[in-house]
Structures are given as C-alpha cells and as structure tokens.
Amino acid sequence: MAEIIYMPKLSDTMTEGVVADWLKKVGDTVASGELLAEIETDKATMEFESFYDGILLHIGVEKGQGAPVNSVLAIIGEKGEDVQAILANATPGRDSAVVTAPSQPEEAKTEVFAAPAPSPAPVEVAPVQNSVSSSNGSNDGRVMASPLAKKLAEDKGIDISQVAGTGENGRVVKRDVDHFVPYTPAASRPAYVSSAPSGTESYTEVPNSQMRKAIAKTLSASKFSAPHFYLKMEVDMDNAITSRAAINAQEGVKVSFNDIVIKAVAVALRRHPKVNADWMGESIRYNNHIHVGVAVAVEDGLVVPVVKFADTKGIAQLGDEIKDLASRARDKKIKPEEMQGGTFAVSNLGMYGIEDFTSIINPPNGCILSVGQIKSTPVVKNGEIVPGNVMKLSLSCDHRVVDGAIGSAFLKTLKELLENPVTMLI
C-alpha cells in the first residue's frame, strides 16, 4: 500500500521547506531509515529519512523548489500503483489547506548596463572681452555690470572684464558670474579632456534562502518591537590571558577566550537570574536552567546553537561542546533541537578584529552579549600608565524584561569574573 510523505516541519518556526537535494530518484528502492532528501529550513539544511519501505513512486517537490509544510513531498509504495489516483485522494496536513507545487525559485541573475557615451571634447574658445562704455555710450573703460554681479565677481576673485554679459545691451548680470569659466591656454591644460566614466556597471541578484528570510523576519520583529538599550563596559583581560595559557598548557586541552567568556556568562547568570529571562508577551519567564546560545556564522547567514546547562560544565568541556556544535552547524549537520531553548545569547566578533558592536536580541530572550577583540593598549594601573589588554563588552537589553540597574549589575559581575577567572570556581 502506498504511503504519502508530506513536507515535514523540521523546526518550530518553519512554514515552508526547500528541497536542497534528492538522495533517491523515482524507481529506487527505499528502506525505512534511509536518507531520502536534504531539506532547507529557516534554520539549516537537514537530512530527512524515510519512515517506510518500498519504491519511490513520485516526487512532489523537485530539487531547488519550495513547498509549504504538509504539502505532498513524495509517495512510496509498490511498483505499478496508480500515482495519480493516490494524489487525487491525498489529504493535505492540518497546516496546509491546499497542496500546491511552488514555482521554481528565481535563479541568480546578472544585469549589465552600458557606460554612458563620452562627452564631446571641449572646444577651446578665446576669452570674450566685454564692451565698455560710459553712460553716454562712449567707451571709457568701465564695465557694464549690475552691482550684484560686481560684488559676486569680487568675492570670487573674478576679473569682471573677462565675463561675457548676457543682460540688456551686454550688461553683466549675476547668472553670467555664476556660470563663468576662466580661460585656460591650451599649453597649460592637462592632457585629458573628458572625465566620462569607463568600464561596465553590473550586479548579481540572488534569491533569499530560507535562512535569510527567517533572519530578516525574526530580527526585524525583534528590533522594531523590543525596546533595546545598551550597556557597555571595558574588561582588563590580563589575568584571563594568563589563565588561558595555564589551562592550555595541560595535555590535550585547548580552550579559547570565547569559552572563558561563555563560562563567565553562565556563572554570572546564576548570580543574576532576572537577566536569564524571556519575554512571553503576557508574562516574563525567569528560567531556572541556563542554556547559552552561541552565534555561529555559516554560509547562508547566522545560526545560534545552544549549550545546555552551561553553568554545570567546566571551561574545557564547554570548549569541546562549542567546537562540535559550530562544526556541525557549518556542515549543515546540526539538529533543530540543538538550536532551540536558549535563555541567553552571546555573539563574539573579536576574531574579526571588531572592537565594539551591539547585537539584536534573539527573541524571546531578554538579553544578548556582544564581545569584541582583546586589544593591547596603554592603561592606568596604580596611578601609572602601563601596557594592558582590554576587551569591550556590550549588553543589549529588552527594556520590557531587564531594567538598567539589573543589566548593569550583571555586567559588573561578568567583568569581575573575567578579570579574576579563579573566582569562577567559587
């Protein structure tokens, strides 16, 4: 008996999926548990396996096409079954009232514009001498010009006798001075005579992926609905540098500064539970567990894998888990549940040389921490200027959830933990 496979909902926010690739073709034998296709969701590209044994009789969504959740994705059954009859009796899932086959996404396109034709070379014109006359019509060396034109020429350093008049009886008026171009002898002119641009204008337009659409929708909603405010603080990282060197001196251990930051964040959240909160619309949820989302750049945009129960794990263990999550996120092998449930998020751009920035809160979280690079700079210690290593932190807060005093207290504790890493053990 044939089985209809519908487009699965692979994430909590997914409304449609795009088939990135089919791993089987019509007529192939499929076993339960075998990979059937790769489906691009709003969060990642996921491998989708079959739940049935049989022959792949029909593909409802071609490679590169998208379809709503619960649309007909494929049919698996026995050879010779009437596919059209099965499709005619197919019942769309509850999330999709009508089964449609979306059109092929628009391919990337390039448009080219011809450069404008060069302007004709300027024609050399000899300077025009104004006629001069007296009030009775005889030439006496005076220039016929309006008082405003004379004043304007004087301000611009223009010899008004060189300006051709277009007013009544050759009178020089304001517009003549405004448009006057001094005569330049040919021998003193530069070799070029035209500034027309050369080359060809072009661009490449690429359709938005499901991930980019989700990023645009989610972060736009966050930025425009959540009243963001920002708290910033500098941290002395000298002791953190020393501590990291000591940790990495241990055989088989390799931690990053980001791992130390994540550990400090988890400890600080335990001490300031009101920051570990979510905006739920009609209520604020204060989470007793600490799940820290770590922003990871991938090919199509940004994903936020979540380190669960981060406060219960050591720095080395956090480092291993973050590396694994980030690696699988970039390879599109991460599971949807590994990107859900975060109670706080951290975005670190220090490795790109960014010193200071602010992030948009990942809803429903109340806060996100932005981490800059560690910069060697002169600092004042004990009244003396000495070399130092400073890192800037910026806490973005949703004012509906976290007030300034609460966010400031959290950031102060985080600073103390990073400046004295041994206190994380207390």
Strand 296-298 with 301-303, pairing: antiparallel
d(CA 6, CA 275): 40
Instruction: Map residue 320 onto helix, strand or coil.
Output: helix
Note every long-range contact of 26-34, with CB atoms under 8 Å and residues 24 or more positions apart, other chains counting: 26/56, 26/57, 26/58, 26/59, 27/55, 27/56, 28/55, 28/56, 29/54, 29/55, 29/56, 30/54, 30/55, 30/56, 30/76
As beta bridge partners, residue 381 has 384
Residue among 392, 315, 398, 307 at smallest CA distance from 348: 392
Q: What is the DSSP letter of 54?
A: E
- Specify whether 272 is catalytic: no
Burial grade of 397 (CB within 10 A; 0-12, 13-18, 19 or more) = buried
Written as six digits, the tokens of 25 are 């073709």
- φ, ψ for residue 370 (rounded to 5)? -105, 130
- Find the catalytic residue in 179, 228, 289, 399: 399
Using alpha carbons, list the distances in angstroms from residue 379 to 73, 97, 186, 233.
Answer: 62, 64, 60, 15
Helices (H), 291-359: 315-330
- Could you identify the residue written with the tokens 């006798």? 161
Q: Which phi and psi (to 5°) does residue 314 adopt?
A: -75, 170
Element (H, E) at 260: helix 257-271
Distance CA 364, CA 377 (A): 37
Catalytic residues: 399
